Amino acid sequence: MQLRYNYRAYPDAAQRGALASAFGCAWVVWNDCLRDRREAHAAGLPYVKSAELSRLGITQAKRTGERAWLADVSAVVLQQSLRDLDAAYKNFFDSLTGRRQVGSLKVKWSRRLPAAPTSLTVAKDSCGRYFLSFVVDTGRDILPVVETESGIDLGLSAFAVLSDGRKIDSPRFLRRAEKKLGRLQRELSRKAKGSKNRARARIKVARRHARVADRRRDFHHKASTQIIRDSQAVYVEDLAVSGLGRTRLAKSVHDAGWSAFVGMLEYKAALHGRTFARVDRAFPSSQVCSACGFRDGPKPLHVREWVCGECGTVHDRDHNAAGAEAVVRPEPA
């Protein structure tokens, strides 16, 4: 299977300039070739193939006065931009971005790559940080078999409730950072557009958002790894996150980052030989007794505890929902 490993890079001033030039040239090639395909489509002409775009948008463009500076960067960068455009047209977005020549960069090697990478992407985020992203083909790392199976009920009051009774508290990273973010955004709004002060203020806001995202990602990784290590099988509700993101709960839903967390559970289960399955969102987990399977009817959201009318078991609503998801044993994803 393929895994992606990200590392922070620290280019010096000359390297930052070279990377900026490479990024700029890649953007120009992308836009020029995209324009050629759109114009051909609008004129009713056949789809312009990559070989023709490479000849017109790169090789011949370098010979013109308007685009002569494209010759100043590696041809690998320009050809890669064209391959990225092809990937976008095919709607793959699989991040197989090929090799990029970046020279000798200062990199924080937080961990060793398990094998030689098949591709490398150099990225710069909104707050000016550089990252190297490697795609690596690696074998599965099978964990020892355990007896435990876990149903997971995701929520907002508690980030996750497991069928064994464990609760993972919701860190609310964005909510906790809102006060400082609000102050920084007010400062940004007062700066004159196009000024250096506005650019510096924008970077401060971006850094604060990046810190929130980094903390959330770290939390997701730690929680998902622990669950996969402790459970032979994991069952989680297939939540309609996009729908919830349009409600009054939108900010809290995006702050929780359920989709990213479930994605981590899924790929880590595959990597470590665990079973992973999504429970249909229509499954009435709050109505089914996790002890005997009896369906006890719908309950309003304010009912947090209930007694099964069949077996008499007293249930915490969230704990029971997690347990019911494990009991149903859906087909693995």
Confidence of residue 302 (pLDDT cuts 50, 70, 90): low
Judging by DSSP bridges, how do beta strands 275-279 and 233-237 pair with one another? parallel
pLDDT digits (tens, 9 = 90+) for 179-221: 999 999 999 999 999 899 999 999 999 999 999 999 999 999 9
- Local structure of 150: helix, strand or coil: strand
Looking at 32, 153, 255, 266, which residue is catalytic? 153
pLDDT digits (tens, 9 = 90+) for 40-75: 888 888 888 888 888 878 888 888 888 888 888 888
Q: Is the dihedral of CA 24, 26, 29, 30 positive or negative?
A: negative
In the chain, the amino acid numbered 132 is: L
* Order of strands across the sheet that contains 106-108: 106-108, 2-10, 130-137, 117-124
Looking at 84, 237, 266, 296, which residue is catalytic? 237
List the end-to-end C-alpha distance of the chain, in Å, as a whole number: 16
Both tokens of 40, joined, read 């051909």
Burial 257-288 (b: 16+ CB within 10 A, else e): bbeebbebbbbbbbbeebbbbbbeeebebbbb
Helix 258-272 to helix 196-230 angle (10° resolution) is: 40
Q: Is 318 a catalytic residue?
A: yes
In the chain, the amino acid numbered 152 is: I
| C-alpha to C-alpha distance for 53 and 33, rounded to whole angstroms | 6
Looking at 266, 296, 318, 325, which residue is catalytic? 318
Q: Is 72 a catalytic residue?
A: no
Q: Is 280 a catalytic residue?
A: no
Burial 88-111 (b: 16+ CB within 10 A, else e): eeeeeeeeebeebebeeeeeeeee
For the chain, what is the mean pLDDT?
Answer: 82
